[in-house]
């Protein structure tokens, strides 16, 4: 066989030494021992069953062993773990003195053994497709195994919960109404109450599976509400009101999160320093801190401190403000621009006001108002300490502001609320709130939000926005107020808050249907976001559209004469003195200089 091809033909590889063991990995099927399908336990995986059947099928073929020899005795089929790998190859496919490499990668012969033919250039594509099909079947078996394992894990978890619910081998029994009343009068065992809460949560999660016979879902809900009120110290009204906001399991997480204090956070005053420099200075004083998150570039979370965090030289110099992380959110949503006129309708103690002033870079003007005159002292102290030079402090009822002053580019209304989002700070909310309180607060908030909308200038070129926020999680103080404002003021609409996290507001709640745009509002919970419960909504105030009468033309007879031309029977000269005196009283009430009275001519 001469010629050009024979000249460049590659010679056979060098034979392997008998003393050196092969570096090839042992194939899975060659290392299998004699396994009978009947001996496989019930919990075997589908893949193990398949392989065992293939092994048994090969054993049943006469005269052929797993190692390629004609001996069919069990001892000849067993492979020792210390035996040479070349001894486990099928002699029909591979020669003992050939290196098993293909395409630069090691080839263990397992695929050829399964396919039953030698790999050549002609059948390579066909064998590749067969291998792909085999890999797909293996993936299906893997998925089935994972699903079976997950189901088995759920069953084990249910079994574990059932074991936890048993005390001394006796099954759990739901107390009757009489037993529940007796327990309220006496002192209940905390461990028993907690175990009963867990049992009720489990039953309500899968009622058909775990509920007792002749017991309704309402009985379990009543028992769970009673245990929550008893265990966490809430009154019955507030327990039911907060429980209705969440699914059963999440409601327990919410009540539990209210027992844990929120992290201590501070806000960097960018008028005086940078966050990096502030963090380095506090670290040098023994403060352990880190940035809050990517959603704010001025917040720092304090883990521990060897010095009082509210009495450091940096604090006294106005480099930072002790402020909850949730209080950053309304100002971030407001996004004030330089040289704008901004109103903070309920500003004390000044955290949000100084944040607005910092974003304005001491340009424009910020009007910090608070109805409680005593709280304006702390507001003024923080404004001076933080170096805000564009802030004017006033004390008016927020409902008077459209008459007192208007035409603002942006307005922030952090309305007075029940404080159900800050129970971890003020535990008195658990017992001192009633249905009457929520009705009064909701009415006040509706009045304030309408006045805030009227205070915004719709003609503002850069603004025209209102942000409404509360530290409450109830729907009466949040979505219901926002929906009321949308119905009463046709020239406003909800816009995106610009906050990249938080849950959407409710558009439906216990039979109430709100405006679909209410989903643009954002809710924040202590058990989800590790901050105080908060609500943020952002409005865009537009110009009022003129209402045109369709199909009617105004006649001259329909046009009413001006009020000055109407003779209503009053003497203008006589009333002039009373009008001037009334104006003098208004000026004096505002604290302004009263002009002298005019002498009668």
- Annotated active-site residue 451? The verdict is no
DSSP character string of 352-418: HHHHHHHHTTT-SEEEEE-S-GGGHHHHHHHHHHTT--SEEEE---GGGHHHH---BSEEEEE----
Instruction: Give the residue carrying structure tokens 């033909």.
Output: 9
Q: Are 141 and 47 in contact (CB under 8 A)?
A: yes
CA distance 497 to 494: 9
CA distance 16 to 10: 18
CA distance 358 to 387: 9
Instruction: Give the residue carrying structure tokens 């506090």.
Output: 282
Q: Is 48 helix (H, G, I), strand (E, B) or coil?
A: helix
Among 216, 237, 208, residue whose Cα is nearest residue 225:
237
Q: Which of 388, 417, 451, 471 is catalytic?
A: 471
Count the Cβ atoms, other than its own, within 10 Å of residue 519.
15
The two tokens of residue 513 are: 């249907």
Q: Are 44 and 106 in contact (CB under 8 A)?
A: no
Q: Is 392 helix (H, G, I), strand (E, B) or coil?
A: strand
474 by Cβ neighbours in 10 Å (0-12 / 13-18 / 19+) ranks as: buried
CA distance 32 to 114: 14
The two tokens of residue 307 are: 């010095």
DSSP character string of 507-558: SEETTEE--GGGGGSEEE-HHHHSS--EEEEEEEE-PPPPPPPTT----TTT
Q: Are 522 and 502 in contact (CB under 8 A)?
A: yes
Which residues 6+ apart lie within 8 Å of 6 measured at CB? none
Residues marked active site are found at: 471
């Amino acid at each position: 066989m001469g010629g050009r091809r024979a000249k460049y033909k590659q010679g056979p590889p060098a034979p392997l030494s008998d003393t050196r063991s092969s570096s090839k990995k042992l194939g899975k099927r060659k290392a299998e021992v004699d396994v009978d399908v009947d001996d496989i336990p019930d919990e075997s995986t589908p893949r193990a069953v398949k392989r065992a059947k293939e092994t048994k099928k090969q054993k049943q073929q006469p005269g052929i062993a797993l190692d390629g020899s004609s001996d069919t005795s069990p001892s000849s089929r067993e492979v020792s773990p210390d035996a040479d790998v070349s001894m486990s190859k099928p002699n029909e496919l591979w020669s003992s003195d050939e290196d098993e490499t293909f395409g630069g990668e090691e080839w263990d012969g397992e695929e050829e053994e399964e396919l039953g033919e030698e790999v050549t250039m002609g059948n390579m594509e066909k064998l590749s497709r067969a291998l792909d099909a085999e890999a797909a079947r293996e993936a299906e078996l893997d998925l089935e195994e994972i699903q079976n394992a997950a189901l088995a894990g759920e069953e084990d978890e249910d079994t574990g919960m059932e074991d936890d619910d048993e005390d001394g081998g006796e099954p759990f029994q739901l107390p009757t109404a009489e037993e529940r009343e007796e327990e309220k009068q006496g002192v209940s065992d905390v461990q028993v109450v907690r175990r009963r809460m867990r049992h009720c949560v489990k039953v309500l999660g899968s009622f058909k599976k775990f509920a007792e016979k002749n017991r309704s879902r309402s009985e379990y809900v009543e028992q769970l509400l009673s245990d929550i009120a008893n265990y966490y110290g809430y009154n019955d009204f507030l327990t039911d009101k907060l429980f209705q906001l969440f699914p059963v399991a999440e409601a327990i997480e919410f009540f539990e999160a209210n027992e844990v204090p929120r992290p201590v956070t501070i806000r960097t005053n960018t008028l005086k320093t940078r966050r990096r420099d502030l963090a380095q200075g506090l670290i040098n004083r023994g403060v352990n801190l880190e940035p809050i998150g990517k959603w704010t570039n001025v917040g720092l979370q304090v883990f521990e401190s060897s010095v009082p965090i509210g009495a450091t030289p940096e604090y006294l110099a106005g480099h930072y403000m002790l402020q909850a992380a949730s209080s950053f959110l309304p100002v971030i949503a407001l996004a004030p621009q330089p040289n704008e006129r901004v109103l903070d309708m309920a500003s004390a103690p000044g955290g949000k006001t100084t944040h607005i002033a910092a974003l304005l870079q001491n340009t424009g003007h910020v009007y910090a108002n608070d109805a409680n005159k005593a709280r304006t002292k702390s507001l003024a102290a923080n404004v001076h300490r933080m170096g805000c030079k564009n802030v004017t402090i006033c004390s008016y009822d927020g409902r008077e502001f459209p008459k007192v002053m208007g035409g603002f580019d942006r307005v922030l209304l952090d309305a007075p609320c029940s404080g159900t989002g800050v129970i971890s700070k003020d535990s008195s909310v658990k017992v001192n709130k009633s249905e009457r309180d929520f009705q009064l607060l909701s009415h006040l908030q509706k009045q304030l939000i309408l006045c805030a909308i009227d205070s915004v200038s719709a003609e503002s070129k850069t603004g025209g926005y209102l942000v409404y926020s509360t530290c409450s999680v109830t729907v009466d103080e949040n979505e219901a107020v926002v929906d009321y404002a949308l119905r009463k003021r046709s020239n406003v609409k909800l816009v995106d808050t610009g906050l990249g996290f938080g849950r959407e507001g409710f558009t439906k709640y216990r039979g109430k249907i709100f405006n679909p745009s209410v989903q643009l509002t954002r809710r924040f919970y202590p058990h989800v976001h590790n901050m105080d419960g908060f609500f943020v909504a952002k409005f865009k105030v537009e110009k009022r559209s003129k209402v045109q009468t369709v199909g009617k033309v105004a006649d001259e007879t329909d046009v009413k004469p001006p009020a000055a031309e109407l003779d209503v029977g009053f003497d203008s000269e006589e009333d002039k003195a009373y009008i001037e005196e009334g104006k003098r009283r208004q000026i004096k009430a505002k604290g302004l200089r009263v002009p002298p009275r005019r002498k009668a001519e």
